[in-house]
């Protein structure tokens, strides 16, 4: 499958199952996205959000969870997603905001790779749970670097490499197979009836791509599930309180 076919399949998959995914995230939340990742992402945004009229690029905005959070704090946001369904869900989610805040967002249907941002610069570039969607990580990082303003930061994330390279997991943890294998893994997180190809990246590949794009990794965060949160599946919470689930990276220009 070539690069364009992969991108088309991803957009089609979210068009088919994005409404269900969006409802779940907005109504009750998903474990990795909303109970493990989101508290850390929002904490990373606490300091920058004090800046008036901050310009933020939200790549792969999905149902607009972070888009709404950013708009509510007064930021100007460009929200990009390749799926019509996800983009409409993001708009709907943000419409409850006062009109003067909602109007600060440009919703754009496109992949990040294809959309021309001209000379736009952003204080924050967001690409949460997006790294595995990029078929060329160096190219993606280079474009993010191009649109990063002075002292700007990039906040991005993916499934943890240990989880991605695990052959299986049981109650005790993961069994890692070939950690150095390259290429895709197949995900069915949207729906068991459809699978989409996503990229595996290990720590060395992440560091190499960042370095080639003239970016420095400021911080790596490996969040644990919080056993005090109100997620209903206690067994999963306990497992992910001692096993990695997500990798979050904070990057800036060298």
Confidence at 21, pLDDT banded by 50, 70, 90: confident
> Residues 6 or more apart from 4 whose CB is under 8 A from it?
none
**Mean pLDDT within 180-191:** 73
pLDDT tens digits, residue range 49-98? 676 689 999 999 999 999 999 999 999 999 999 999 999 999 999 999 99
Q: What is the pLDDT of residue 39?
A: 96
Whether 1 shows a pLDDT value over 60: the answer reads no
The span from the CA of 246 to the CA of 221, in Å, is: 8
Mean pLDDT taken over the chain: 90
Nearest partner of 247 among 156, 121, 165, 139, judged by Cα: 156
Q: What is the pLDDT of residue 2?
A: 61
Q: What is the pLDDT of residue 211?
A: 98
Q: What is the pLDDT of residue 13?
A: 77
The span from the CA of 18 to the CA of 23, in Å, is: 8
Poorest-pLDDT segment among 34-43, 51-60, 137-146, 194-203:
194-203
The span from the CA of 84 to the CA of 110, in Å, is: 9
pLDDT tens digits, residue range 113-134? 999 999 999 999 999 999 999 9
| pTM, to two decimals | 0.92
**Mean pLDDT within 129-152:** 95
Q: Which residues of 86-109 are buried (b: 16+ CB within 10 A; e: fewer)?
A: bbbbbbebbeebeeebeebbebbe
Whether 32 shows a pLDDT value over 80: the answer reads yes
Q: What is the pLDDT of residue 46?
A: 84
Q: Per-residue DSSP letters for the chain? A: --HHHHHHHHHHHHHHHHHHHHHHHHHT--IIIIIIIHHHHHHHTTTGGGSTT-EEEEET-TTSHHHHHHHHTT-EEEEEES-HHHHHHHHHHHTTS-HHHHTTEEEEES-TTT---TT--EEEEEETT-GGG-SSHHHHHHHHHHTEEEEEEEEEEEE-HHHHTEEEEETTEEEE--TT--SEEEEEEEETTEEEEEE---HHHHHHHHHHTTEEEEEEE-----TTS--S-HHHHHHHTTS--EEEEEEEE-
pLDDT tens digits, residue range 237-254? 999 999 999 999 999 999
Q: What is the pLDDT of residue 3?
A: 66
Whether 184 shows a pLDDT value over 70: the answer reads yes
Confidence at 4, pLDDT banded by 50, 70, 90: low
Confidence at 170, pLDDT banded by 50, 70, 90: confident
Nearest partner of 67 among 82, 85, 86, judged by Cα: 86
Q: What is the pLDDT of residue 115?
A: 94
Rg of the chain in Å (alpha carbons): 18
Q: What is the pLDDT of residue 240?
A: 94
| Dihedral Cα 194, 107, 89, 145, nearest 10 deg | 50
How is the chain split into domains, by residue range?
A: 3-253
The span from the CA of 176 to the CA of 4, in Å, is: 30
- Kindly report the CATH class assigned to 3-253: alpha beta
């Amino acid at each position: 499958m070539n690069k364009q076919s992969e991108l088309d399949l991803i957009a089609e998959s979210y068009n088919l199952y994005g409404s269900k995914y969006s409802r779940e995230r907005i109504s009750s939340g998903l474990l990795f996205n909303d109970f493990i990742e989101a508290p850390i992402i929002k904490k990373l945004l606490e300091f920058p959000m004090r800046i008036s009229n901050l310009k933020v690029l939200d790549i792969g905005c999905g149902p607009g969870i972070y888009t709404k959070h950013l708009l509510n704090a007064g930021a100007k946001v460009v929200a990009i997603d390749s799926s019509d369904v996800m983009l409409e869900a993001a708009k709907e989610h943000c419409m409850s905001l006062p009109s003067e805040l909602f109007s600060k967002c440009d919703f754009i249907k496109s992949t990040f790779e294809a959309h021309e941002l001209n000379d736009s610069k952003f204080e924050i570039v967001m690409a949460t749970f997006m790294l595995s969607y990029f078929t060329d990580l160096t190219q993606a990082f280079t474009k993010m670097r191009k649109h990063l303003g002075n002292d700007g930061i990039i906040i991005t994330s993916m499934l943890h490499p240990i989880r991605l390279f695990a052959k299986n997991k049981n109650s005790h943890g993961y069994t890692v197979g070939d950690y150095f294998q390259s290429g895709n893994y197949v995900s069915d997180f949207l729906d068991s009836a459809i699978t989409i190809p996503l990229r595996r990246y290990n720590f060395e590949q992440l560091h190499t791509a960042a370095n080639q794009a003239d970016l420095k990794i400021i911080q790596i965060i490996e969040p644990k599930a919080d056993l005090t949160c109100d997620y209903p599946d206690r067994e999963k919470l306990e497992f992910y309180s001692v096993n990695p689930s997500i990798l979050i990276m904070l990057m800036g220009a060298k």
